[in-house]
Structure 1
Amino acid sequence: MQSAHAPRRWTRAIAPLLVGIVPLLFPPLLHAESAPTASVPVDARNAERNRARVAEAFEAWAKGGNTFFDDLLSPSVRWTIRGSGPYAGTYVGLEDFVARAVRPFASRLSKPVRPVAVHQVFAQGDEVAVHWDGAAVARDGQPYRNSYVWIFRMKDGRVAEATAFLDLAPYEDVIRRVPQPK
C-alpha cells in the first residue's frame, strides 16, 4: 500500500527535474531579475513582457484573486495535463478546461487552490515556464498540496497553449474522496 506521503515524495523528486529541463528546452532563459532595455533584442523584450504578465497573474492569484484563468488564458487555449488518469489529456478551449478539469476539482474545496510559492518563472520569446506550489483545503477539512510546472506558449499577452505537470494522485484523491456538491 502506498503511504500518504508517496505522492509528495514523487512531486519533490520530479518537480526539480522538470525545472532542470526548462533551461535545456529554452536556452538562454530570462529570469525574474532581468529587465528589458533599449539595447535588448525584440525577442528578449517580448520574453520579459510575457514573463512579467505571468508573474503578475500569479501574484494576484496568491493574494486572493479568483480570475487567474479568465485573465490569462485565451478563450481558445489548448491545455494539456501530462500524466495518466482520467484528468490527464488535452482540453480545447477555456470553457472545456474549466468545465472538465477546474470546476470538478474546485467544487470539492472549501478553500481554493492558491500559489503558496512561485519558485521560478522562466521565459524565452513566447514561451514561459512556471514552477510553483499550491495549497487548498478540501470540503472534508483535509489539506491539498501539490507542486506544478506549467509551460505556456503566449500569444498577444494570453496563454494560447499550456502543458501542465503535476502529481495527479492528490488531485484525483480529492475528487474521489469528497462528493461533488449538489
Structure 2
Amino acid sequence: MYSSLFQKTRWLALAVLVGMGLWSGAIHANSAVEARNKKQVSEAFDRWAAGGTTFFSDLLTQDVVWTIKGSSPSAGVYRGVDAFVEQAVRPFVSRLSSPVRPVRKQVWADGDHVVIQWEGVGTARDGQAYNNSYAWVFHMRDGKVFEATAFLDLAPYDDVLRRIPEPARE
C-alpha cells in the first residue's frame, strides 16, 4: 500500500514539475511577445513623433478592424486599412496645416495586446491648435495590428471636421 501511495505521489510530483516547466516556458514566450510588440509600437510612435508618415502602413494589417468608440458621427467601425484611411484619417488630416504628432506616450503590453495612451497636437488650416488625448488598444499578430480600438475626445476631432471645409480633391 505504501509503495503504491509513494508511486502515485512521485507521479503527481513529476506531473506538477513538468506542468510548472511548461507554464514557465509559456510565461517566457508570452514575455518575449509582449516585449517585441511593445518595442514595435513604441518605435513606430517615435518615428511618427519625429515626422514620419508611415505609422499606419508600418503597423496595420490590410484587413485591420479599427473601431473608434463614442457616440458622435465620427465613431464607427472601419474594416480594412484602406477604408480606415479613406473614411477616418484622410478627411481629418486634409483639414490640418500641420499633422497631429504624438508629444507624450505611455505603452503597456500584455501578451498580444498593446495599449498606448498618448497626447497629440497639430494645427488646423484655420490656425487653431488641435490637442487631444488618445488611448488605443491594439490586438497584434505577427508584429502587426489586426484589431484596434481607439478612445479619444471626439468633440475637438469633430470640431475640426465641422469647422474646416474639406479641400477639393484633385
TM-score if structure 1 supplies the norm length? 0.77
The Cα offsets for residues 24-47 of structure 1, whole Å up to 9 and x where unpaired, read as: xxxxxxxxxxxxxx9x61001101
Identity %: 58
Aligned mate of 1:150, from 133, 136, 145: 136
**Structure 1 unaligned regions, length at least 5:** 1-37
Pick the structure with more helix per residue: 2
SS of structure 2 residue aligned to 1:86: coil
Letter in 2 for 1:103: R
Aligned mate of 1:48, from 28, 31, 35: 35
Measured after TM superposition, the shift of residue 85 of structure 1 is 1.0
Aligned mate of 2:52, from 65, 77, 89: 65
Paired with 2:73 and 2:61, the residues of 1 have a C-alpha distance of: 24
2:69 counterpart of 1:82: yes
**Structure 2 unaligned regions, length at least 5:** 1-24
Paired with 2:59 and 2:48, the residues of 1 have a C-alpha distance of: 11
Aligned mate of 2:147, from 161, 166, 182: 161
SS of structure 1 residue aligned to 2:147: strand
Measured after TM superposition, the shift of residue 89 of structure 1 is 1.1
Paired with 2:112 and 2:156, the residues of 1 have a C-alpha distance of: 31
2:115 counterpart of 1:115: no
Measured after TM superposition, the shift of residue 87 of structure 1 is 1.1
Q: Which runs of structure 2 are paired with 1:163-182 in the superposition (5 Å)?
A: 163-182=149-168
Paired with 1:87 and 1:96, the residues of 2 have a C-alpha distance of: 13
Letter in 2 for 1:162: A
Measured after TM superposition, the shift of residue 158 of structure 1 is 0.6
Paired with 2:165 and 2:76, the residues of 1 have a C-alpha distance of: 23
Paired with 1:160 and 1:51, the residues of 2 have a C-alpha distance of: 15
Letter in 2 for 1:143: A
Letter in 1 for 2:92: F
Measured after TM superposition, the shift of residue 143 of structure 1 is 0.4
The CA RMSD over aligned residues, in Å, is: 1.3
SS of structure 2 residue aligned to 1:77: strand
Paired with 2:61 and 2:129, the residues of 1 have a C-alpha distance of: 30
SS of structure 2 residue aligned to 1:144: strand
Deviating above 3 A after TM superposition, structure 1's stretches of 4 or more consecutive aligned residues are none
Measured after TM superposition, the shift of residue 113 of structure 1 is 0.5
The Cα offsets for residues 106-150 of structure 1, whole Å up to 9 and x where unpaired, read as: 0000000100111x2000110000000000000000000000000
Structure index of larger Rg: 2
Letter in 1 for 2:107: V
TM-score if structure 2 supplies the norm length? 0.83
